[in-house]
Structure formats: structure tokens, C-alpha cells
Structure 1
Amino acid sequence: MDVKAAVKAIRKGEIAPVYLLYGTEKYQMRQFTDFLTEQVIEKDQRDFAIVSLDLGEVPVEVVVEEAETVPFLVPRKLILVRDASLFTAAKDSGKLEHRIDALMDYLDNPADYSVVVFMVQSEKLDERKKIVKAMKSKAQVLSFTPLGGEELLDWVSKQGTRQGSTFAPEAAAALVNNAGTSLQTLSAEIDKLCLYAGSGGTITSEDIDHLVARSTEQNVFAMVEDIANLRMEKALNIFYELLKRREEPIKIAALITRQFRIILQVKELAQQSYSQQQIAGQLGLHPYAVKIAGEQARKFPPDQLKFILNQLGDLDYQMKTGRIDKVLGLELFLLRLGA
């Protein structure tokens, strides 16, 4: 079952006794637990009905004991369990010993007055473990992975619509390019933009440029995008703006190198018929970053990308050994790249 199906089932009152949530998208995972809390526990009962435990501090049998204990003054309790790394391939710290058999037995006969939610901040579960296999067959296991490129832009647009505002064409992409791909950061920026646009208003790319500050990483991302599209004046303007912020030229060069390396890697993997999601998994990147890198990759032949990376390697050596002024060296590199 996926997250959307689980949400529909919960709305119908079909609450599973045990959930296992895993993935790297913390914001969506928190949204799901908040939604589950609203559906399972009445607001005035939450002081007595919600229990938070951490498997880094207590063994799993304590979770089982809590789940089997009849709730006090409320009809049902919700047990939120964090740091549930026992479901992954992560090495055990050795501080606690977990009696997995206690949880296995509980899965066979869960209490009808408890809902247990295990939260795992990990991209994958360890499929070899018996407890993971048991959870998959007897509990609701839900994956929270980063949204794909188009999914992310659609999510941004829908968040604006829910608040009564509309994103103009290209504005959603402009927001992601400025703020990055973190849903929590994007949500905060969307709140601000919707407040600025007002009910029924339209959020434009110009509004985003005025209201959403870019990090150094996002500025370099935009600079490479401008270079790929031969907008050298804009690329240089970003470079000079970074210098005004007192950003270290060596750091800027390192971030440019990283982006061009990603472009080359995406290009090579795409030529081997890897999908966007597969490339993201291989490189440890957000799918949206892979999407943009793929678009940039079409504008550079592989040999040119390798040549640029070699130039950046030489520039890094010269800057660090004092053979060239750092600002001048990076400026000349950008001008040669544009030429």
C-alpha cells in the first residue's frame, strides 16, 4: 500500500494497529503522522493518549509493553516510536539490546486500543531481516521518498492553490531553483509568497526573485544554468553578487566543479538507460536536481564536460598554491567558458 491509499483508508476509519514509516522525506512523514493523530485521537485527549518513545533510549520490548497497557481515561492511544534503526542495515551501537521476538509476537496479536507508528529515517529497510518481512506482511509499511521533478513542481502549485493563490507559469520552478528541494523550506516560502500575493493573487517569478533569497549552493546552481544557456552576463552578475557576500572563491569553484561533475554523471547514466529515479538513487541526489542536470547535460558533449572539469582541477591547484589571484582566476575561467 502506498501513502495515498493509506490516507484514504484512514479517512474511512480503517486504522492499522501498526505502521512502519521509512524514507528520507521527513516533512511528508511528519505530515502523515500529524494526519493520523488528528484521525485517531480527539484533540482534548492528546495529553493522555499520545506516547513518544525513542529506540535509541529504550528497547523495543518497552514499546510492546506500552502498546499492551490499557490506555488511561481515553479509548485509544497512539505510540510514536522514533529512531527505529533496528529495521535497517545500520550497525547496532551496542548500547541497547532489543528483544525482536517480543515485537514479532505482538504483530500476531496487536491490541485493538493501540496504534503504533515506527519512524525510520533511512532510504531503505533491510529486507533480509525477519522483523522487516514480518512488518511487511502484518503491518502497514509506507515509503516516503523525495518527489520526482514534475511531482515536486506540482506539489508547489497545489500548496499555493490550497492557500488561495496561483503560481504563474515557470514560477514553481523558479521557487525550487531559489529555495532548493526541501519541502519544509518550500512550505515556509510558499506561506510567505501567498501572504504577499493575497487571496486570488498570482505569484510570479519576479515576486520570487524579490522575496526568496538563494543560498550559495542555489546561486551556483543558477550560475551553471545561465552558463549552459549562454547567459554569461547573468552568470557573472551572480558571481559578483557572491563576492559581495564575501563568499570564498575556492568554495565557489568547488561548487561549480560539483555541479559539472553531476551533469557528466547524469549524462553518462542516462546514456545507459537509467531512469531519473535510478540516477537519483545512484548519485544520492534529489530527483529534481537530476532533472535539471539532465536538461543541462544536453547542451554539453561529454568531452567538453571532461575538459571543463580538467580546467577546474587546474584552477583549484593554482588558486590553492597562490599561482593566480583567486578572484581573477575564477573570473577568467567563467569568461573562457562563455567564449
Structure 2
Amino acid sequence: MFSSTWKKIQQGDFSPIYLLVGTEHYFFDETIRRMKESLNQNGETDVLLFDLDEVPVQHVIEEADTIPFFTERKLIIAKNASFLKATEKGKEKIDHDLKKFESWVQNPSETAITIFIAPYEKLDERKKVTKLMKEKSLLLVAKPLEGNDLVVWVKSIVAREKKTMTSEAITRLIETVGQDLVQLQSEIHKMATYIGEGLEITKDDVELLMTRTLEQDAFQLLNAYLRGDTTTALTVYHDLLRQKQEPIMLTALLASQIRLLSNVKYLQKKGYHAQAIAKQLKVNPYRVKLIVESRQQVKEQRLLQVLHRLASADYQLKTSSGRRERILELFLMNRL
């Protein structure tokens, strides 16, 4: 849907009202970028931004109905259209004049293009205003990409940088970053810039340049500990200490990772597949995929034992006045 709409925008075929719904902000940013690019072909276009958490929607209507002075059309972006989702009565932030808005939606200005952004997973389909917007506007739903669709998208962004990327590099990139398209695009641009005149981004480039998160390092640390790789576990741990990470916080992260492993195993037994597990637990699907497909199958009893030992280490860390970093180090050295 987005690709066909973007093609029309490029051709100068605009709708007066767009409604962008969903949680993948890349599609919002890219639609607005392409809209500006197309409109600016005939000169600089007025762009006005409204936050509907701060101002009522009637301000947007008034601006849209005001004829532009120097351009054929103005572009109006109205973000956080929360009046389209379910809200508890009396807890609305702003007093939106929805009757006036509903009337305007049926006869919008021809000299303005208005983009309403509703960055929510669901809208309230029972509301009259929601039904009307879905009927009268050009609706675009921005869902996170998954599986092969995500791989195809990564390849398209790499191609835009005039590079190629190995399958191993793409897999490693997605495993690390997840499905956030904005962050993926940023990392791809960084790697393309790094290799310069080179044509192919490899797994080594990804490993070298990827911005790792603390959670990812904790996951690597726990996996090394569970498979008995004390050297790797201690190396990651000492790296984290050099980054001024506190042992108490690292202990909590390790416990969180163990609970994730345990929850994934539990849902697997219930018959859930990897994507459903990721959605249920609200975690990176590739993280779940790695756990599900891992040859390193850790029994639940052992996970509980490790969790118990972590609880003991946590107590020592919170009651000790000595070298606290040594307590977690001893935990990592003494494998069950």
C-alpha cells in the first residue's frame, strides 16, 4: 500500500487527507519526506506541524482552510491524533471540536494536503470520527515488517546506498537491531559510509560497527555462561565493567534474560510459534527465533538453579561493602 501511494505522490497525484496509523515510524517519516520532495519540485512549499496533544484539531482545520500566499498547496502535518483511539471519558488532554472536524473531513480544502498521524497499534472503530476518517482519507497502516519482507526491505535500503550485503550480514544486523526500520536504516548508512568505495557489506563489518545495547551484551554473557564458556563470559563482563556498568544492574539484567528463556520455553510447550511468542512477550522476534532454534537447550530446572544463584549474588552485592565486582565474577566462574 505504501509503495503504490509513494508512486502516486512522486507523480504529483495527491489526496487532500492522509491518515497514517501504526507503530512503525519509518513509514511516517518516509511518506512525509517523499511528499515534501514532490511538492518542492515547483518551489518551496509551506510545511506546518501541529501536535494534537498540545492544540485542538480545529486549529488544523483553520490553517487548512487558509489559502496559501506563495504556493499552490501547503502541507500540514498533524501528529498524535489521539481522538481517534479509545480514551477514558474525562481524561482527554485537549478539547477537540469533533463535530466541526467531521464536517470538514467531508469537504476538505483543495489548497492543503493534511497528514494525520496516529502512532497507535489500534484505533477505536466504534467512534464516528474514526469511521469517517477511514472512509474519507487515504488510509495507510504502518506495521512492523517481519520475515522475508524485512529482509527484502533491508536489501532495498542497501541498494539505495549503492552497496550489496551478504545474507549472513543481513541476518546478524536484524538479530542485533530488531525490526526498528529507522535504526536499521541508520546502521546501514553508517556501514556503507565506513566501507567507502567497497561494494559489499559483510558480517565482519556488522560486528565491527554495530551499536550494541546493554541488553544484547547481557544476552551474550548469559549464553556464554550457560554453555560453560567461562573465558567469553568473563571477557564480556570485564568489558561491561570498563564501561562503568554496575554489577547490581548486570545481575538484574541476567535474571531478566533467564526469565525470558524460561517464558519462551513455557510458551513453546503451549504450542506457540516464534512470532506469536515474540508478540506475547513483546520482545525482538529474532531474539526469540535464536532461543527457539538454539542447539543449546537448557533444562528448566537448571534455569531455576541459576536464577536462585543470581538471587544470592544480588543479596551479597546489596549487603557487601567490599569489591562488589568480584561477587558476580565468582558467580560466572563457578558453573553449575
- Indicate conservation of the 8 Å contact 2:178/2:284, yes or no: no
Over 3 Å counting, the alpha-carbon distance change for 1:151 and 1:229 in structure 2 is farther
Q: CA RMSD in A?
A: 3.0
How far is the alpha carbon of 1:290 from its aligned partner?
Answer: 3.3
Question: Does 1:63 pair with 2:66?
Answer: no
- Is 1:145 matched up with 2:143? yes
Deviation sequence 1:61-119 (CA, Å, 0-9, x none): 12122222333232222210022222223456555310111221122222333221111
Name 1:53's counterpart in structure 2: 50
1:84/1:119 contact within 8 Å kept: yes
Query: Structure 1 stretches of 5 or more lacking a match?
Result: none
Q: Residue in 2 aligned with 1:163?
A: 161
Q: CA deviation at 1:152?
A: 4.0
Residues 178 and 286 of structure 2 are in contact (CA less than 8 Å); yes or no, is this contact kept in structure 1?
A: no
Q: Does residue 34 of structure 2 align to residue 72 of structure 1?
A: no
Matches of 2:147 and 2:182 in 1, distance apart? 17
Taking the aligned partners of 1:236 and 1:35, their CA distance within structure 2 comes to 48
Mark the CA change 1:100 to 1:151 in structure 2 (over 3 Å): closer, same or farther. same
> What is the DSSP-based 3-state SS (H/G/I as helix, E as strand, rest coil) of the residue aligned with 1:116?
strand
CA contact (8 A) 1:164 1:199 kept: no
CA distance in 2, matches of 1:35, 1:59: 27
In the other structure, the counterpart of 1:115 is: 113
Among 157, 168, 171, which residue is 1:173 paired with? 171
Report what 1:259 is aligned to: 257
Task: Check conservation: 2:22, 2:141, Cα contact below 8 A.
Answer: yes
| CA distance, structure 2, for counterparts of residue 225 and residue 8 of structure 1 | 46
Check whether the contact 1:22–1:122 (CA below 8 A) recurs between aligned residues: yes
Work out whether 1:86 is the aligned partner of 2:90. Answer: no
State the alpha-carbon separation in 2 of the partners of residues 213 and 260 from structure 1: 23
- The structural deviation recorded for 1:256 is 1.5
User: Closer, same or farther in 2 for the Cα pair 1:145/1:310, shift >3 Å?
Assistant: farther
Q: Distance in 2 between matches of 1:327 and 1:188?
A: 35
> Contact 1:23–1:123 at 8 Å: present in 2 too?
yes
Query: Residues 200 and 241 of structure 1: is their aligned pair in 2 closer, same or farther, counting only changes over 3 Å?
Result: closer
With normalisation by structure 2, the TM-score equals 0.85
Shift of 1:257: 1.6
Name whichever of 59-68 and 290-299 sits farther off: 290-299
Aligned counterpart, 2:34: 35
Distance 1:7 1:97, change over 3 A: same
Closer/same/farther in 2, CA of residues 270 and 131 from structure 1, 3 Å limit: farther
CA distance in 2, matches of 1:5, 1:287: 28
Residue 20 (1) aligns with residue 19 (2)? yes
Residue ranges of structure 2 left out of the alignment (5+ in a row):
none
Task: Tell me the alpha carbon deviations over residues 291-319 of structure 1, each in whole angstroms, 9 at most, x when there is no partner.
Answer: 33433597223343333333333332332
Using the size of structure 1 for normalisation, the TM-score is 0.84
